Structure formats: structure tokens, C-alpha cells
Amino acid sequence: MHVTRFDIGRQTREQRAGLLVVIGLLSLLLWQTAIGSIVLYPFTILATWFHEMGHGLTSMLTGSEFERLVIYADGSGQSLSRTPVDQSRFADALVAAGGPLGPPLAGAGLILASRTAKSSRIALSILGAALLASCLIWVRSLVGLAVLAPFGAALLALAWKGSRDWSRFGVQVLGVEAAISTWQHLGYLFTAGGVVGGISQRSDTQVIADALVLPYWFWGGAISLGIALLLWWSLRRALR
């Protein structure tokens, strides 16, 4: 009996693009099911990390002090910063946008890094080191530490010990998962608020709407369009 072995290194550009699109769509579908949420749980925690780090790092850029990051068992999270009392409304909007835009920006960067084996290994090393460093500096929850620290170690192992083909593919999958993670809860960008850690809070798009103009659903649509364009552009460049 002849068995065809799956060789990730022999895929054409079109085959790789199609596989990544299928992985992305399948992930979005699985995230909407109970069993899929269990299967993708480590990626859910990673997505929350990207999101909350986006808030935290943006707050640092706008002059606040990023104090800690908390991830809850249900996959939700919070980034807590000490903010100046005179912070502008525009800075409030930037920090709010940093959450939903952080993952697709990081995802696009990872996908672009997959253009060569060397840059793929560098990207895996940077992401793995960032996960471990954040656990030491900001992450202050057992769930976050239990998932993110092993995830970071696994990425470093893939960077140093994995084959060049699997390193590139791993970076591409991580990039796609990061880019689409803002959509894991399809209605998140189009709601005024929700419950995080048992406390009712405004959504990021509602914070942007309160700080600037136009309703939250407009900003949800603008962010979704930005995510789609970033994903398309980065895949097109990386697989050229």
C-alpha cells in the first residue's frame, strides 16, 4: 500500500495560502462551539495576551504606567495601568484601539517574518521570549502563567530545534491565529459592553465612541476592515 506523506516544504504558494485560509476559517468556526473552545483554549489565552498587551503597551506609549495583566479562566482578561488624571480623550481612544488592533498587527508582523527561514526563527524567538518576559513582569494570574510560560518555551524550542519548513509554517499559523483572534467572539466589536471578571465594562469600541465621535458599531466595522486588509496584505507579501 502506498502512503502519501504530507510534506509542508513542497507546497506551492497557492496551496499554502489555501491551507492558511482554511485554518483561519476553521478556527473561527471552532471558537463558536463548546468543544472547539476547549481544543483551541491555549490559542484563546494567547489571543487574550495579544489583546491585553496591546492595551498595556499602548498605554505606556501614551504616558501611563502598565502595572499588570490578568487573564481569567474563561479566556477574558484585563490590562491595568496607572493613568494620568489629565489624559486626553484621544489617548483614551488610542489605548482602547490598542486591544483589538494589537493582535492583527502582531499577526501581520509574524506572517511577514515567515518570508525566510532565518526571520521565521527570529520571530519565534522574539515571541517566545516576550511571552516568558511578560510572565515575569506583568502577568498576574495562575491561568495566564500556566498557559503562557509553556507556550513561550515551546516557541523557543521550535525556533532552535524545529526544521526550517516547520518553523516558517509555525510562524504563519501563529500569525493567522493572532490576526483573526479579535473575531473569536464575533459580536465583540459590535457591542457596547460586557462582563469581564464579573464586572460590567464598556467595550473597546464603546470607549472609542465615547472619546471621539460616531457609534461603536462604526468603529467595530472600521477595525474589522483593517484586520481583513492587514491579513490579506501580509499573506500576499509573505507568499509572493
pLDDT tens across 86-107, in order?
Answer: 889 999 999 999 999 988 999 9
Is 157 part of a structural domain of the chain? no
- Return the closest-CA partner of residue 104 out of 191, 14, 24: 24
Number of domains in the chain: 1
Query: What is the extent of the structural domain holding 38?
Result: 22-112+173-238
pLDDT digit string, tens, across residues 134-189: 999 999 999 999 999 999 999 999 999 988 989 999 999 999 999 998 888 767 88
pTM above 0.85, yes or no: yes
Is 17 part of a structural domain of the chain? no
Is 1 part of a structural domain of the chain? no
Is 101 part of a structural domain of the chain? yes
What's the pLDDT band for 16 if we cut at 50, 70, 90? Answer: confident
Is 195 part of a structural domain of the chain? yes
Is 86 part of a structural domain of the chain? yes
Mean pLDDT, residues 44-51 taken together? 92
Which pLDDT value is given to residue 129?
97
What's the pLDDT band for 196 if we cut at 50, 70, 90? Answer: low
Between residues 169 and 194, the one the model is more confident about:
169
Is 84 part of a structural domain of the chain? yes
What's the pLDDT band for 34 if we cut at 50, 70, 90? Answer: confident
